[in-house]
């Protein structure tokens, strides 16, 4: 994770905090001290914000641990100033599992609310203390309790891809195909996001940011789910490219440049003694030219640990893996024999062709 500070891990899930978070704390400190707030009061606000984000981490762990029960790992949890994100390696396809994974986050906030309210009942807290908005050792727990309730309610708004939207999608997907369910939930999400943006524009810039985030997130997930539903049932061999350009591992980059300019290819298969050993992309060629010039060898700039996939592998899974590892191309083998390449762009083309033909 770039630009993020590693905080620690629990049950194999790493937690990071994004650098922009420091801006939030800095803003709290500077804006309040300019208004002449005593240092001790500012300190309590900072403590409150940190405690609130600890609750957000627990919310994300709710999702991560629920997913773990279904054998789905979480790459990491990253905290941003507008909230946390648990990056699951994939989402459960079974609607009932998705329902549990989505609901587990807000459920954590409801439990935290119950516990914190319980503490308040125990100490005989007087709600009149909250009349003046000021965080202090006496008021921090009631504020945290209400913040957890707000977090739970806010996340349950059915604006896909927020938790409430995922719950809605899961309910719809029990009866409808997943792509259709996503389309409906995404549409409702975008509609609600517009309200967030409009309302936020005049009242609260953070709400506006969240609205934009929901709007773009909904669009991305709808197209992603559509792509997945088109790829369903296909194998790697269906999208295999058997025409490709090769380049010798001991060739100079000038040779690669020549091939690049004379063909449509943006990727080359690197061969050594007639065996495919790696890939060389346009970006790698450009980097090589910058660092070593035209006479630099392919060997020094090619990717010699390429992703290798078998012809019988599920195209959807492979596509997902390539996206997760940011691989644009993979070598396809069958019983150890190299057959051709699989190219992300080519998979996208494959989807376009299949959807145009309206696959039976
Ligand atoms: Zn959540």
User: What distance in Å separates the CA atoms of residue 245 and residue 357, rounded to the nearest whole number?
Assistant: 29
pLDDT at residue 200 in the model: 87
- Radius of gyration for the chain, computed over Cα atoms and rounded to the nearest angstrom: 26
**What residues does CATH 3.10.580.10 cover in the chain?**
236-357
Instruction: Give the tens place of pLDDT for each residue, 158-184.
Output: 888 889 999 999 999 999 888 888 889
Q: 52 C-alpha to center of ligand 1: Å?
A: 14
Could you tell me the CA-to-CA distances from 276 to 195, 272, 279, 298, 324 in Å, in that order?
54, 6, 8, 13, 23
Angle at alpha carbon of residue 255, lines to 249 and 256, rounded to 5°: 75
Phi-psi region of 88 (alpha: psi -120 to 50; beta: other; left: phi over 0): beta
Helices (H), 204-271: 205-231, 253-262
Residue 163 known to bind ligand:
yes
Please give the helix or strand (H or E) that residue 354 lies within, else none.
Answer: helix 344-357
For residue 255, how many C-alpha atoms fall within 13 Å in the half-sphere facing its CB?
Answer: 16
Please give the helix or strand (H or E) that residue 285 lies within, else none.
Answer: helix 282-292
Low-confidence residues of the chain: pLDDT under 70 = 1-2, 122-133, 358-360
Q: 64 C-alpha to center of ligand 1: Å?
A: 10
- 299 an active-site residue? no
Residue 18 known to bind ligand:
no
pLDDT at residue 129 in the model: 57
User: What distance in Å separates the CA atoms of residue 139 and residue 134, rounded to the nearest whole number?
Assistant: 7
DSSP string, 101-116: HHHHHHHHHHHHHHHH
Q: Is 252 helix (H, G, I), strand (E, B) or coil?
A: strand
161 preceded by a cis bond (ω within 30 of 0): yes
Q: Rounded to 10 degrees, what is the CA torsion of 24, 104, 226, 322? A: 70
User: What distance in Å separates the CA atoms of residue 198 and residue 215, rounded to the nearest whole number?
Assistant: 12
pLDDT at residue 218 in the model: 85
Phi and psi dihedrals of 99, rounded to 5? -55, -50
pLDDT at residue 360 in the model: 46
User: What distance in Å separates the CA atoms of residue 135 and residue 144, rounded to the nearest whole number?
Assistant: 10
Q: 161 C-alpha to center of ligand 1: Å?
A: 9
Q: 344 C-alpha to center of ligand 1: Å?
A: 30
Q: 83 C-alpha to center of ligand 1: Å?
A: 9
Closest C-alpha among 125, 86, 127 to residue 105: 86
Q: Is 248 helix (H, G, I), strand (E, B) or coil?
A: strand
Instruction: Report every protein residue that has its C-beta within 5 angstroms of ion ligand 1.
Output: 105, 163
Strands (E), 167-222: none
CATH top class, domain 236-357: alpha beta
Phi and psi dihedrals of 109, rounded to 5? -65, -35
| Structure letter (DSSP) for residue 238 | G
Q: 217 C-alpha to center of ligand 1: Å?
A: 14
Please give the helix or strand (H or E) that residue 86 lies within, else none.
Answer: strand 83-88
Q: 8 C-alpha to center of ligand 1: Å?
A: 20
Could you tell me the CA-to-CA distances from 251 to 269, 288, 294, 300 in Å, in that order?
12, 13, 10, 10
Q: Is 124 helix (H, G, I), strand (E, B) or coil?
A: coil
User: What distance in Å separates the CA atoms of residue 350 and residue 346, rounded to the nearest whole number?
Assistant: 6
User: What distance in Å separates the CA atoms of residue 244 and residue 306, rounded to the nearest whole number?
Assistant: 15
């Amino acid at each position: 994770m770039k630009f993020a500070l590693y905080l620690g891990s629990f049950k194999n899930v790493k937690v990071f905090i994004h650098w922009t978070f420091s801006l939030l704390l800095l803003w709290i400190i500077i804006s309040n001290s300019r208004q002449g707030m005593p240092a001790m009061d500012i300190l309590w606000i900072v403590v409150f914000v940190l405690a609130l984000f600890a609750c957000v981490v627990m919310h994300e762990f709710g999702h991560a641990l629920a997913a773990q029960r279904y054998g789905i790992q979480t790459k990491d949890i990253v905290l941003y100033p507008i909230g946390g994100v648990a990056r699951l390696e994939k989402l459960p396809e079974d609607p009932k599992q998705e329902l549990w994974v989505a609901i587990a986050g807000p459920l954590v906030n409801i439990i935290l609310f119950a516990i914190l309210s319980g503490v308040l009942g125990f100490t005989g807290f007087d709600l009149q203390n909250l009349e003046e908005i000021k965080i202090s050792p006496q008021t921090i727990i009631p504020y945290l309790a209400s913040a957890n309730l707000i977090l739970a309610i806010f996340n349950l708004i059915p604006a896909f891809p927020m938790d409430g939207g995922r719950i809605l999608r899961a309910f719809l997907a029990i009866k409808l195909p997943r792509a259709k369910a996503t389309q409906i939930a995404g549409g409702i999400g975008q509609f609600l996001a517009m309200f967030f943006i409009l309302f936020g524009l005049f009242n609260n810039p953070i709400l506006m940011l969240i609205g934009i985030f929901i709007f773009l997130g909904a669009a991305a997930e709808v197209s992603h789910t559509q792509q997945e539903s088109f790829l369903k049932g296909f194998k790697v061999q269906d999208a295999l490219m058997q025409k490709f350009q090769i380049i010798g591992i001991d060739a100079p980059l000038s040779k690669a440049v020549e091939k690049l300019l004379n063909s449509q290819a943006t990727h080359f298969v690197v061969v050594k003694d007639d065996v495919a050993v790696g890939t060389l992309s346009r970006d790698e060629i450009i980097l090589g030219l910058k660092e070593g010039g035209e006479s630099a060898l392919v060997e020094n700039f090619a990717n010699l640990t390429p992703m290798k996939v078998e012809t019988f592998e599920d195209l959807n899974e492979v596509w997902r893996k390539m996206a997760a590892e940011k691989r644009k191309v993979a070598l396809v083998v069958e019983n150890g024999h190299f057959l051709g390449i699989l190219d992300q762009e080519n998979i996208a083309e494959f989807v376009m062709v299949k959807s145009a033909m309206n696959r039976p």
